[in-house]
Amino acid sequence: MQLKDKCLHGLVKSFSLVDSTLIQQGFKRCGKAEEATYQLTIQDSATQNVYCLLIPTKREVQSHTNHHDVLRIGRPSLKRNGHIVKLKPAMKIPEPIWNAVQSKLAEIADYLQAEKS
């Protein structure tokens, strides 16, 4: 399954908007502020596997906009038991987990695209 139309990869928004939106959605910020990764833990109650949805970001300075402190969102990935699984169709990821990840990414994209930053 591909990501739905509302893709996060490459989106550039203000640091404060991205940071507050992801934290409100249950993500934790990890790493240095310049290249932070936001992570959300998802547990599959049927298999007890733990998945971690990762959204990497990179801080940029854009002098041609009103915002000098922005984040560029990288390509989201999903980690299961310490192994990264690309967000592409995979038999290893149960459908309910895959759907939850797709839904969460679409929800975040909606919030970020609706706000003017």
Domain residue limits, the chain: 12-114
pLDDT per residue, tens digit, the chain (117 aa), is 333 445 788 899 999 999 999 999 999 999 987 889 999 999 888 888 889 999 999 988 766 655 568 899 999 988 887 666 555 555 477 888 888 998 999 999 999 988 765
* Superfamily name and number for 12-114: YugN-like (3.30.310.100)
Q: Is the distance from CB of 73 to CB of 109 less than 8 angstroms?
A: no
Burial class (CB in 10 A: 0-12, 13-18, 19+), 116: exposed
pTM over 0.85: no
Burial class (CB in 10 A: 0-12, 13-18, 19+), 22: buried
User: Residue 112: what are its φ and ψ, rounded to 5°?
Assistant: -70, -35
